[in-house]
Structure 1
Amino acid sequence: MRIASYNIRKAVGLDWRRDGGRILDVLAEIDADVVVLQEADKRFGDRAGVLQPSDLYARLGYRPVDLSTRAESHGWHGNLILYRDRSLVLTDATRIELPSLEPRGAVSARFGPNDLEVIGVHLALGRGMRMRQLEALGRHVTEADHPVLIAGDFNAWRHDAAIPRLLGGGARMILPGKSFHTTRPSAPLDRFVLKGGLQEASAHVHASDLSARASDHLPVVLDLDWPAGLRQPEPEMRP
């Protein structure tokens, strides 16, 4: 099972053109089962989404998890989860309130048949507020009796051992590599945290000619290895 996380900067590339189709092309290169996006909505006005949901499904087979509170938005505070309904069933979805001085929050979706919870985050720039947000996320996941994967832009420039500690016992952080800035990747801002027995098979930064132009972040990718005792999702049946 492949999970990707991508801060798409409102689909504005390094050429300062807003091009949602270019983001879809990058997602096609990655071919993930679940995609967690940050900055999927415009910042001002009606906070309209920058991708076309019809294109997401027609081209890539992705359904958006609808947690928006504005008619034109894709996600909540720019956080959006996409999934392929050929192999996964959405069983629950919720918004997670986080303390913040900015419009920030987290989104959660649970998927069958393996009861995996995926949480998408875009955390604060300042470490003090980021620690408070991680404490709030820790309270959300501490009693979870199912596997949990947290993905997103953590805005942490270093490893920071406090991150898994604040997310509770058994949390393990996965740093695929340096994903920011695309012109000269120097910081692992984008990362994953696993809880509940999940194991990574591999993780990497998706660096391609297209992803180097589409946003100021490179996407990060995690392939999950389902250990014995956790139910593995059925493989996707492609036409």
Structure 2
Amino acid sequence: MGDDAGVSTSGGPDGQERPDARPAGRRRPSGQVLQVGGLVLLLVVGGFFGVRAVTDDTVTASMTSAADAEASAPPEAADPDPAEPVEPLEAPEPVDPGPGEVLEAGPPIERTGGGGSDGGVADALEDLARSAEQAAGPVGSVRGARARSRERSCVPAPSTTVRVATYNILGAGSRSGRGYDLGRVRADIASWDVDVAILQEVYRLGGDAARSDQPADLAAGLGMDWAFGYNARKGARTQYGTAVLSRFPIVEQANSRLPNSGGLEQRGLLRATLDVGGTRLDVFDTHLQHTPQAAALRAQQARSVAGIIGARRAATGNPAVLGGDFNSSPTGAVGASLNGVLRDTWFDVGGGQGATHPAGRGKARIDRLYQSADVVPLAAAVRPSAASDHDAVTAVYQLPGAGRVCE
């Protein structure tokens, strides 16, 4: 073949050798060889994918049937195959509660289709994480979220208006000299249309049947509850002191003796705790020493009153109202002590001098009302008396709301 030794040849149909254009060692396979090789390759590849397709179809059918069964039946009705137990979906663990509690607090998870892929499981886990985030909120646990979802709708309770009078009744005597007449005292209180009457110079258990039980008799005639503070004895049997009448229930009462000296009349501080629509209101009543030479003792009694009220406020936080006959100027030492824990109602909402004694031609404002800082005074007035030598003082107060009202 001489110079053509590097070129291969193939036989033609006439038996003559012809030069081949491809380099030596890379002969084109015949058509039959190509067909056989392609068939073998097709069988191998087709067999592999056929087996994989059968496997994928089986898994897909299993997952689809399980999802359909779970979607069509309640969770408690699901009955997985005992031969191959199905593990429940588990959410990524939140910081505080377990995933079971998240599922209970959050919205239901919606299953999504996904053929043979795991896209449905991923979507479910994403929904689960979002549910946990919504249920827990920015701060707090799922237990708190579940409790909040079950809590009733609550709003602050509305404030309550209370009408109060302070009145020295002169023991139901009469400045006109017409004698004892408890009916006139009752008529005075009724005409003022108050919820609470703070009374001084009140008698109980007297020898005279007409004076036997003034607070009880007044309360019965006015349809009110009552409390009595016994401070001194008048005669052999008669108790003398202060009283509180109330349209609201009196749930607690106490009477404290005030400082005394030189055999003067014993004075006291009565407390009646009222239930005003769920709010506990402490109503205080006092009658300080009246003699002109006892100014130092009155100041000492006022400091004692302020101390008792301040301690009560610190212990309970109850709103408070104080009424009484203070036998002193509102700007003196007595007023200074009381203003340390309470506010003078007349200073806040009164008009004019506000004098109460003597009745009908008042020259001094010795009968006064005070309130704690959480009580709002709305109005105050001096009321003329038909029975006593003192006119009365009335006021309207707004109390703070009584906690919450829930539906």
Normalised-by-shorter TM-score class: 0.7 to 0.9
**Aligned pairs, number:** 219
Counterpart among 308, 314, 328 of residue 140 in structure 1: 308
Letter in 2 for 1:178: A
SS in 2 for 1:53: helix
Separation (CA, whole Å) in 2 of partners of 1:200 and 1:165: 20
Counterpart among 109, 115, 124 of residue 272 in structure 2: 109
Q: 1:64 to 1:23 in 2, by over 3 A?
A: same
Q: Deviation above 6 Å: which 4+ runs of structure 1?
A: 42-46, 69-72
Separation (CA, whole Å) in 1 of partners of 2:230 and 2:330: 31
Separation (CA, whole Å) in 1 of partners of 2:237 and 2:379: 36
**Counterpart in the other structure of 1:185:** 362
SS in 2 for 1:27: helix
Deviations 1:152-191 (A, max 9, x none): 10111x3225445423645211235111101421111100
**Counterpart in the other structure of 2:325:** 153
Letter in 1 for 2:250: L
Aligned residues of 1:164 and 1:172 also touching (Cα < 8 A): no
Structure 2: which 5+ residue stretches go unaligned? 1-161
**Counterpart in the other structure of 2:243:** 80
**Counterpart in the other structure of 2:251:** 91
1:15 deviation in Å?
Answer: 2.0
SS in 2 for 1:142: helix
Q: 1:99 to 1:109 in 2, by over 3 A?
A: same
Please give the root-mean-square deviation of Cα atoms over the aligned residues, in Å: 2.9
Q: 1:72 to 1:225 in 2, by over 3 A?
A: farther
Q: 1:114 to 1:164 in 2, by over 3 A?
A: farther
**Counterpart in the other structure of 1:119:** 284
Residue 3 of structure 1 pairs with residue 164 of structure 2: yes
State, as a whole percentage, how many aligned pairs show the same letter: 28
Aligned residues of 1:173 and 1:194 also touching (Cα < 8 A): yes
Deviations 1:112-143 (A, max 9, x none): 22111000010112321111111111221223
Counterpart among 368, 378, 394 of residue 221 in structure 1: 394
Separation (CA, whole Å) in 1 of partners of 2:268 and 2:249: 24
So what's the TM-score if we normalise by structure 1?
0.81
So what's the TM-score if we normalise by structure 2?
0.49
**Counterpart in the other structure of 2:342:** 171
Structure 1: which 5+ residue stretches go unaligned? 234-239
Deviations 1:27-82 (A, max 9, x none): 11011111111011179879x5563724532x311222144488976xx7420111
Residue 18 of structure 1 pairs with residue 18 of structure 2: no
Deviations 1:84-122 (A, max 9, x none): 1xxx22221100110123121111011122111000010
Aligned residues of 2:228 and 2:241 also touching (Cα < 8 A): no
Separation (CA, whole Å) in 2 of partners of 1:130 and 1:165: 12
Letter in 1 for 2:259: P
Separation (CA, whole Å) in 1 of partners of 2:212 and 2:335: 31
Letter in 2 for 1:32: V
Q: 1:55 to 1:94 in 2, by over 3 A?
A: closer
Separation (CA, whole Å) in 2 of partners of 1:49 and 1:173: 34
SS in 2 for 1:40: strand
